[in-house]
Each structure stands twice: as C-alpha cells, then as structure tokens.
Amino acid sequence: MIDLAAETERLLAFAEGSRHPEGGFAWLRSDGTPDLDRPRELWITTRMTHVFALGELLGWPGAAELVAHGLDSLRHDFRDPVHGGWFAQVGGSTDKRAYEHVFVVLAAASAGDDALLGEALEVLDTRFWDQSAGALVDVWNRDWTDLEAYRGANANMHGVEAMLATGDPLWRERAVRVTQRLVVDNHPRLNEHFDEQWRPLPDYNVTEPAHPFRPYGATIGHWFEWARLAFTLDRSLFEADARRLFMAGVQDGWDGSGFVYTVDWDGRPVVADRLHWVLCEAIGAAAVLGEDALQAEWWDLAQERFIDPADGSWQHELDPSNRPSSTVWDGKPDVYHALQATLIPRVPLRDSLAASLR
C-alpha cells in the first residue's frame, strides 16, 4: 500500500507553490505553477489555509507562516469591511456564498483563530442559517438584500464539516438537522438542488451537466462524503444511512475502472469522467466505515491513475478511459481532498481532522 505519510508531505510540498504574492492562495495549473491571471478565489484560499493548518499540526516546516498568510488575506483581501462577510473573489464576484463561508469557518477552526471563527460563525448564524428549514441558504448579493431563490446540498454538506469543526454543541445540533434533511429525508438518490421552499429541482442544470459545483443529477462523490460526515457526526443516529450511501456509491458510481462524476435518477452515468475528489472521498469513507479491502483497492487505483509523480499532486480529472481531461476542472486548483484522504486512514476519528491531529 502507498506510504500515506510520504504522500501527505508530497502534497504539502506541492501546495506551497499556491502562495499568491498579493495575498491568499492561487489556482495551480497542472504543472504546479500558480495562475496569477485568475481572480483569487475564496474557496481556494480558505481550503488551502485549512490544509496548511493541518500541516502545522503535523510539524511541516513553514506551514505556520503559510497559515498566517492565508488568515491575513481572509481578514483583509476577501473580507467586506462595509457589509460584512467575505467576497467570493478578490477583484471579481462580490457574491456572498454559503459554500465559501463555511470554509472560512473551517479554516479558522483548524488554525485555532478564535476571533476569525467567532466572526465567521456570526455571519453564518445571522445571514445563512435558516432556523425553520434546519439548513443553510445559499447565495446573497453583496449588501445582503437579494437572496438567490436556490437552496443547495453542497454548501450544506460542507457546512456540516465546518459545524463539526467548531466543537460547539449548538452547531453540532444544527449539523444533525442538516443531515436529517439532506440525507435521511432525501431518498432514494440524494437531490442536490432545491427551490426556496426546499422542493427538489431534479432537472436543475440538465443543459450543464458537468458544472463543477452544481451539476445535474446525483453526485456520487457526495454520497461518500455524506457517509463519512454522517457517521462521524453521530453513529447512533446515522450509521445505517452512512452505510447505505456508501454501498449506493459503489453500486451506481463504480463502472469497473473508476468512479463516474454524476448519475441520473435511474442511476445511469451522466458525466462519466473521473474526478479525483470522488475517489478521495470514497477512500475516506471506506477508512471511517472499516471497508479496508475497498480502501486498499482504491489506493491502488489512485497510485496507478491519479497521483502525478512528475508534476506533483493528483490529476484532478480523467476521462472515461482514465486519460487526463478537463471537462469539469482544469489544472490542480487545491489539495484539500487528496490531503485529507491521506490523513483520515491514519488518525483517530474525531469531529475534525484538526481535532484528530491535536
């Protein structure tokens, strides 16, 4: 089996190249060079700050300075000093998105920055948390006057990850409510997209099925991710659902040589390209659920097809014949999923990876 500690270090070394000279972290190309022509993305800076916070807990040289670099950018470059919250991009979109805001929470929690964490949770509580629905709303405009008539599972799933990382009983209780709505009450294949009344939108983005954040149909990788998070959140409540989702991901997602990205509502592949993060989440779920034989098989696939020994990191996308592709993603934007996959099998199961490492 692959040396997971060595792979963690290799990913951290690759990730160092993402440091943006103007603050935060840049989108990395396939060869690991930063694409400084792209706007700085909040989701990349938050996730890479989280990654380097884990690196600091592992004792990785230079990680602490990179964490400070990321936190400084969150306090200044991305933060809206007028209306509060964080911009989706620097010099680009001024939307305020739940997806990115929960990663501000995760980055602050992993880094142990209580002031930033408190501010981020205040925004999450007052702007995104819908108490009546027991879930997060999705996208506001800059001054919080216009809320998009869309509700999404993706932001809420990562919201559960962030809520767990806070260590706060109130947010844990909210994570249970989110999981109840979007896992237990969301059969048979998990709907990803809803209207403002939380009614499913099964045909959402049917003309844009390869969307990186809101694809049409059911997203296989999220079944694995939900399985891991639900099991971690409360085994007594959600173990059966976690195992159901895990096995469904194997049944519908595995086509004999890799995992497809999405399936339709009958379980037929829609986008058959292989996304690296789907395999990473399958590995993480297998580790948590004790599916050791499958985990070993999937690490073999990762080593054979995804891990890039020449340019570093993992290929972010392969086509159905397992050749590098860019239908959904181009380059290697971040190492969040891959790095976590190397850690989950070898640390104690806690509410967050930072808690496990501490």
Which positions are catalytic?
A: 222, 337
Distance (Å, whole) CA 153 – CA 220: 13
What is the 3 state secondary structure string of the chain? CCCHHHHHHHHHHHHHHHECCCCCECCECCCCCECCCCCEEHHHHHHHHHHHHHHHHCCCCCHHHHHHHHHHHHHHCCECCCCCCECCEECCCCCEEHHHHHHHHHHHHHHCCHHHHHHHHHHHHHHHEECCCCEECCEECCCCCCECCCEEHHHHHHHHHHHHHHCCHHHHHHHHHHHHHHHHCCCCCCCCEECCCCCECCCCCCCCCCCCCCCCCEEHHHHHHHHHHHHHHCHHHHHHHHHHHHHHHHHHHECCCCECCEECCCCCEEECCEEHHHHHHHHHHHHHHCCHHHHHHHHHHHHHHHECCCCCCECCEECCCCCECCCCCCCCCCCHHHHHHHHHHHCCCCCCHHHHHC
